[in-house]
Structure 1
Amino acid sequence: MSGACDKGATRRSALQARDALSPADRHAASQRICAQLVQVLADLPATARPTVAMYAAMRSEVGLDTFILAAYGRGCRVAFPCMQHAGTGQTTCMRTVTEREYRSKTVPFINHPVAARDADTALDARFPVVAPADIDLIVVPLVAYDAQGNRLGYGGGNYDRYLAQVRPGCRIIGVAFAAQQVDRVPTEPHDHPLPRIISA
């Protein structure tokens, strides 16, 4: 129980620090993070069409729009998380979104990222699901992180469960503002550090 309490306190503190950043500072830091992510794109294996999974920022998260558009510009297949009902809980899948759809700002699971959805064949046809094994790079939002690469999310465990399904060669990168770094992220046995975190 104490671990959960420690995580809750750390989460609240990190979110307060993130929210306290001015819009100008958040934008400038987001641009620096995006610049580093664009460099990662150039290092991806020379596949016919790399698949990149990322998120669309909500609230005060790191904004990835510059990186997202760069990925489209390089011909990547771009996917975003979509929450779905699964039994008594929910699960995360990644759905492909075309650049035209992204720019239209009408993608339902981008506009409402935490809303879980029922199975929907129309949604499947418009935004096909990407298998975790097909992802070459996944960019993960963070609430807090430490120097050892330990990540603290929002508490639902959705990314933890999804990351366990990607193939060993997939590049996993967490992104956060420097203000979100803490001395130590409380961890539990099922928690695993990220191989790389980009912050600014």
Structure 2
Amino acid sequence: MDEDDKPASLASPACLLHEVDPDYAGLPGPTEPRDWPQVNRWRKAERERLIAARLAMPAERRAAFGAAIAAQALAEIGAADGLVVSAYWPFRGEPDLRPLLQTLAASGGRTALPVVIAKGQPLEFHAWQPGDPLERGVWNIPIPAVPHPVIPDVVIAPVVGYDPACYRLGYGGGFFDRTLAALPRRPRIIGVGYSGARCMTIHPQPHDIAMDMIVTENGVVRPYDCTTRALT
């Protein structure tokens, strides 16, 4: 079983849709038992499908989509002066937001990258801006060569998949939700991904933490959008 697919005690409901009409969202009600093994199998298969789809996307299209996502994320962040913003090093076809980090740093923001410390442990965020030295971390993903832990005000997180309630399907390591639960204060969380990664639901589990929004090349998805549709 993947780490983030194990039942846990943390919860962060994205909107009130599950209280209004669970069937509308295609989710089990709060008292209905979940078929965890089935959900885990579905998540694994969906990860593989979505990653394969984005890797098959032409590089030029990924670059154009990444630029559109970066522009919309920048608009959502607003004035960066004084903010600590963490993004990520692109991996397996993820949107490349390194130019966004450069823009934020030039605007007075402090930028950072996530660092895997150990399996089963929360991520750390270390200060880094384009031009600073890097070294290879877990999975050979570059990380800051000089450790400088920071607490981000904004976390930009790539998604493998997402749903209308802004729950994130990740890689299955459980790092992201574990990290958010451990931070001394909750940052603003912006998920980023391609619109083709949208799922009807990721079948969120009790420990899953929803994003404040998901930014795609086609626009911004906010969790309260699902409540609005349910009530109209």
Partner of 1:142: 159
CA distance in 2, matches of 1:160, 1:42: 25
Indicate which of 67, 92, 115 corresponds to 2:123.
92
Aligned-residue CA RMSD in angstroms? Answer: 2.0
Determine if the alignment matches structure 1 residue 80 to structure 2 residue 113: yes
**1:16 corresponds to:** 52
**What CA distance in whole angstroms lies between the structure 2 residues aligned with 1:98 and 1:27?**
20
User: Following superposition of structure 1 onto structure 2, how do residues 6-155 of structure 1 map, counting pairs within 5 Å?
Assistant: 6-43=42-79, 49-85=82-118, 89-101=120-132, 106-108=133-135, 111-114=136-139, 126-131=146-151, 135-155=152-172
Provide structure 1 residue ranges, at least 5 long, that are not aligned to the other structure: 117-122
Is the Cα–Cα contact under 8 Å of residues 97 and 127 in structure 1 kept in the other structure? no
Shift of 1:107: 0.5
> What is the number of residues matched between the two proteins?
177
Corresponding position: 1:159 with 2:176: yes
CA distance in 1, matches of 2:89, 2:178: 19
The runs of 5 or more residues in structure 2 that have no matched partner are 1-36, 218-232
Q: Whose Rg is larger? A: 2
SS in 1 for 2:124: strand
Give the alignment's TM-score, normalised by structure 1.
0.80
Query: For the Cα contact (< 8 Å) 1:144–1:181, is it kept in 2?
Result: yes
SS of residue in 2 equivalent to 1:7: helix
Deviation at 1:43, TM superposition (A): 4.6
TM-score (norm 2): 0.70
The change in CA–CA distance for 1:36 and 1:3 in structure 2 (over 3 A counts) is same
Deviations 1:98-135 (A, max 9, x none): 4431xxxx411xx445359xxxxxx6xx231113xxx2
